[in-house]
Amino acid sequence: MRDNLRLEGGADDLRSADQPYTLFRGEDESFHQQMRLAAAAHRAGRLDEAISSYLRLLAAKPYNADLHNNLGVALRLVGKLDAAVAHHRQSLELDPDNPALHSNLGNALRVASRTREAVRHHLQAVSLKPDYAEGFFNLGLCLRDLGRIDEALACLSKALALSPQNKRARVEIAITRLLRGDLTRGFSEYEWRKQLDDVPAPEFRQPAWTGGELRGKRILLYPEQGLADVLMFVRYARELKRRGASVLVLCQALLKELLARLDYLDGVIAEGEQLPDFDLHASLLSLPHLCGIDVPAAMSGEPYLLPPVRGRIKLGRLPRAKLRIGIYWAAMPGQALDRQRSVPFMQFMALGGDPEVLFFSLQGGTHQKDIQIHGASGLVHDVGRGIFDFAEAASALEQLDLLITIDAPIAHLGAGMGMPTWLLLPTVPDWRWQQGRGDSPWYPSLRIFRQTTQGDWGPVFERVAAELETLKRAVP
C-alpha cells in the first residue's frame, strides 16, 4: 500500500528529527515545524514517538485534517485498526474532497478486512484525481484481494503508466500474475523485487548466476525471504545438479539438519557460519525464473524433502485410533497477513471428541498455550513443545496420517515430503496458492480448503469434518 503523509518535509527535516526535541518547548517553535518533526519520526519508523507527537499536536489543533490523517496511518502500522479508521474518517470529515485522504482510509479498511468499503474510497480517490497513481495502485491491491484479478491488473498497470518509476507497482503486477497462475511471466516480472529499497542486495563478491553454463561450477543458493520459500524452492537444486553444478545452500539454522539429508545438495551452511568457496550465487526465489517452471525437478511430483533416519520424536498410539492427525493453527506474530491466515484454536476442537482420531499439535511459539487455555490437553497431544527444528518436525510428520494446517512453513514441509496435507486458506491467499483451486501444481499430496467469506472459518471446518468422515471410513 502507498500512504500519503502530509507535511512530511524533506531530508533536512529528517535530520533535525534525529535530534532530541520536546514539543512546545518554546514560543518560537511553529506548529508546522513540529508537524514536520513528527512526520519525519514517522517516516523513520519511530512510530511510538510519532504517535505521541501527533496526539500532543491534536490537543492544540483538534480539527487539523493532516494530523488526523498522519495519526491514522501510524496507528494502522502498529495494528490499532479501529482507531486508525476513526482518525481517517475524522480527516475526511474535515477535508472531504481530498483524494489522498480517501486513499489512506481505504488502506486502513483493507488491513481491517473491510475490503469492499476500502474499494469505495479508493474509487472515490481516483474519481477526484484521475491521474492519481497511488490511488490506482491501492485500488488494484484491494481488487486483487476480492479476486477481481483482471481489474486489479488493469489498475496496477494504470498506476505504472502514470508513474513509470514505481518499482513496487511492477512487483505487485508480477504477484498478481502469479496468483492468476501465469507462472512463467509472473516469475520473470517478479525479478523487479530486487530493485526495491527494502530488498537488500546480497553481499557476495562472486557474480550472480543469470542462467548460463553450470557444468563444473559451485553455486551458492541463498534465502531471500522466509522459511517457506526455502522449503518450496530448494527442489530446483536438483535441476542445477542435473546441469553439472555443485550445489551449496545457505539457510536459516532451523533448516540445516533437514536439508543436510538431501543427496542433491553438496553442502548446507547455516546463516552466520563461514561460507566455503563458490563461483556463482542465486536467490532460491529466482530459480523458477532462471530454470523454467516446467522442469521435471520442479513439477515431477516426487517428494524432495526427507525426515531424519532416526528421529528423536516418538508419537504414541491408541488401539482404537484409526487416524493420527497433525494440526497447526496460528501464524508467527509479524508474518505477513498473520491475522488473516491464523485460525482460532477452538475451530479445531469442533473436530475433536472422536476416539478413532488422535490429534497432535505441531504448533510453535506463543500459541502453544492455546491448548491449555481452552482446556484441551486431553484432546490434543502437544508435540510442538518438543520440536526445535524442521528435522524434528519432519520426524513427527512421518508418523502421522494427515496434516491440517494454515498457510505456514510446515505446510511446505509436509507437502514436500509427499504427506497428505490439507491447507486452510483465507479469502486472500498468498500468490503461491493461486485462486479458486482445490489443489496445487507444486504439491500433488496437498488439498486446499478455502474461505468463501472473509474471516469466516465455520464453513471451511464443516467441509473438513465431512472429508475426515470420508477418510475415516476408508481406513480398515
Q: What is the pLDDT of residues 242-290, one digit of tens each?
A: 999 999 999 999 999 999 999 999 999 999 999 999 999 999 999 999 9
- The residue type of 462 is E
Could you tell me the pTM of the whole model? 0.90
Pairing of strands 421-425, 357-361: unpaired
- How far is 462 from 470, CA to CA, in rounded Å? 13
Q: Judge whether 432 and 178 are in contact, CB under 8 Å.
A: yes
Q: Say yes or no: do domains 218-299 and 323-474 share a fold.
A: yes
| Per-residue pLDDT, 458 | 96
Say how many C-beta atoms besides its own lie within 10 A of residue 42's C-beta. Answer: 24
| Per-residue pLDDT, 319 | 64
- How far is 54 from 42, CA to CA, in rounded Å? 10
Q: Kindly report the CATH class assigned to 323-474.
A: alpha beta
The domain ranges of the chain are 11-195, 218-299, 323-474
Nearest Cα to Cα of residue 400 among 321, 302, 463: 321
- How far is 259 from 285, CA to CA, in rounded Å? 17
Which CATH superfamily includes the segment(s) 11-195? Tetratricopeptide repeat domain (1.25.40.10)
Q: Judge whether 351 and 461 are in contact, CB under 8 Å.
A: yes
Q: Which three cell numbers stand for residue 433?
A: 496458492
* Cell 548460463 -> residue: 212
Q: Say whether 296 sits in a helix, a strand or coil.
A: helix
CATH code of 218-299, in short, is: 3.40.50
- How far is 382 from 364, CA to CA, in rounded Å? 10
The residues with which 269 forms a beta bridge, in sequence order, are: 250
- How far is 227 from 224, CA to CA, in rounded Å? 9
- How far is 160 from 179, CA to CA, in rounded Å? 19
Pairing of strands 280-283, 267-270: unpaired
From first to last of its 476 residues, the chain has per-residue pLDDT tens of 767 765 433 222 222 333 333 444 444 468 888 999 999 999 999 999 999 999 999 999 999 999 999 999 999 999 999 999 999 999 999 999 999 999 999 999 999 989 999 999 999 999 999 999 999 999 999 999 999 999 999 999 999 999 999 999 999 999 999 999 999 999 999 999 999 988 888 889 999 999 999 999 999 999 998 999 999 999 999 999 999 999 999 999 999 999 999 999 999 999 999 999 999 999 999 999 999 988 887 888 899 999 998 878 888 766 678 899 999 999 987 655 677 899 999 999 989 888 889 999 999 989 999 999 999 999 999 999 889 999 999 999 999 999 999 999 999 999 999 999 999 999 999 999 999 999 999 999 999 999 999 889 999 999 999 999 999 998 87
Q: Say whether 381 sits in a helix, a strand or coil.
A: strand
Q: What is the DSSP letter of 431?
A: G
- The residue type of 459 is P
Pairing of strands 402-406, 246-251: unpaired
| Per-residue pLDDT, 314 | 83
Q: Say whether 75 sits in a helix, a strand or coil.
A: helix
Residues 320-358: tens digit of each pLDDT: 788 999 999 999 876 556 778 999 999 999 898 888 899
Q: Judge whether 39 and 30 are in contact, CB under 8 Å.
A: no
